[in-house]
A and B are shown apart, each in its own frame.
Chain A
Amino acid sequence: MGHNDSSYANAPLEYQSETGRLNILGFWIFLGAEIVLFSTLFATYFVLHGRTAGGVLPAELFDMKLVLIMTFLLLVSSFTCGIAVHEMRRGSTKGVVIWTILTLLLGAGFVGFEIFEFFHYVHEGASIHTSAYWSAFFVLLGTHGLHVSIGIFWITGVLFQIKKRGLTPQTAAKIFISSLYWHFLDVVWIFIFTAVYLIGLGGLL
């Protein structure tokens, strides 16, 4: 099928099978669709910004410390994820596993703090029913958090496959693709903390 795999002998492992190459390209295109998905949630958020219907305001609830912690957890996890792929290209299965587990732990920490944050807000009277603004907030952040959670389960599954089969063109492509997903989610978070928290905490809109 298609091009001769031997011409890719010098490429990183994840590019050495045709399935791997096609899957990687296909996933980049899927990320283009995800950019649009999140942009629609952002558009909704901006249009509904400030429409709190006389209820509790975001500036009253947002906590800068919490946001900084969550941001750094995710940022560091993106770094450890990058190192995991670097280790993969060095051919070190052990390196991949260790740095990936670190990534997942940091991600789980992020999700944990986010769940705590959501419970706290609901307790303070800001839930998805309260007003259009809070609906937009919870769905934007919740969609991102759900993506991260799904990613944790997905990458755990891939780790099991690495344990069983080691680093092959197929398993390498899976690690690479899941790393693309993970980095992408950090990119989305950059826009979330800018558009939601910095604007909210700084009273910029």
Chain B
Amino acid sequence: MAGKTHSSAEHEHFPWKHVVGFILSIVLTILAFWIAIGAEIGSSAKLWIIFGFAFIQAFLQLFMFMHMTESENGTVQVGNTLFGLFCAIIFVIGSVWIFAAHYSHGENSKDGYSPSAPKQSEHSEK
């Protein structure tokens, strides 16, 4: 009934999972910074890489620190988190995709200005 948990006796040893997870996280963080700011590759590639690193680090935390698979509820916990991630990806990518069509129109271009419209004087303070 206790499922995949381990007894307190097993915790007498050195917390390897935590140290390894921690070091990997630091490495991934530093690598991500270096690639984003220092590397000489295209923006698109950089985006894929840094987000890839982010997801890897997230899973490191989930499995190694948060004991997500542990206990009789492990499957539910994993499934729940995966569905959350599924929804997250749909909402973010879906929203960006939907609004991509609107960016191409003049008034909705990136800085909120239409090139042909007269420049307004004060726009910053509401």
A: residues with CB less than 8 A from B are 3-4, 7-8, 10-13, 15, 21, 24-25, 28-29, 31-33, 35-36, 38-40, 42-44, 46-47, 50-55, 64, 68, 71-72, 75-76, 78-79, 81-83, 86, 89-91, 125, 129-132, 179-180, 183-184, 186-187, 190-191, 193-195, 198-199, 201-205
Interface centre among B83, B111, B124 (most CB of A within 10 A): B124
Q: Which residues B97-122 have CB closer than 8 A to chain A? A: 99, 110-113
Residues of chain B within 8 A of A31, CB atoms compared = 80-81, 84
Q: Which residues B3-41 have CB closer than 8 A to chain A? A: 5-8, 11-12, 15, 18, 21-22, 25-26, 29, 32-33, 36-37
* Complex contact A15–B126 (CB within 8 A): no
- Which chain A residue shows the least CB distance to B19? A79
Q: Tell me whether A35 and B7 are in contact in the complex, defined as CB-CB below 8 angstroms, given that A86-B15, A194-B54 are known contacts.
A: no
* Complex contact A187–B62 (CB within 8 A): yes
* Complex contact B85–A35 (CB within 8 A): yes
Nearest Cβ distance between residue B8 and chain A, in whole angstroms? 5
- Which chain A residue shows the least CB distance to B58? A187
User: Once bound together, how far apart are the Cα atoms of A54 and B113, in whole Å?
Assistant: 8
* Complex contact A202–B36 (CB within 8 A): yes
- Which chain A residue shows the least CB distance to B108? A51
Contact of B66 among A10, A131, A183 (CB under 8 A): A183
Residues of chain A within 8 A of B62, CB atoms compared = 183, 187
* Complex contact A36–B91 (CB within 8 A): yes
* Complex contact A35–B36 (CB within 8 A): no
* Complex contact B124–A125 (CB within 8 A): yes
Contact of A36 among B12, B54, B84 (CB under 8 A): B84
Contact of A51 among B2, B73, B110 (CB under 8 A): B110
Q: Tell me whether A39 and B15 are in contact in the complex, defined as CB-CB below 8 angstroms, given that A53-B111, A202-B37 are known contacts.
A: no
* Complex contact B88–A39 (CB within 8 A): yes
Q: Tell me whether A198 and B37 are in contact in the complex, defined as CB-CB below 8 angstroms, given that A12-B8, A46-B96 are known contacts.
A: yes
Known: A24-B73, A86-B11; 20 extra A-B contacts, CB below 8 A, are A8-B1, A10-B2, A11-B7, A12-B8, A35-B87, A39-B88, A39-B89, A42-B92, A46-B96, A47-B95, A75-B25, A79-B22, A82-B65, A91-B8, A130-B125, A195-B51, A198-B50, A199-B36, A201-B36, A202-B37
Q: Tell me whether A32 and B91 are in contact in the complex, defined as CB-CB below 8 angstroms, given that A11-B71, A204-B43 are known contacts.
A: no
User: Once bound together, how far apart are the Cα atoms of A81 and B76, in whole Å?
Assistant: 24
User: Once bound together, how far apart are the Cα atoms of A76 and B29, in whole Å?
Assistant: 12
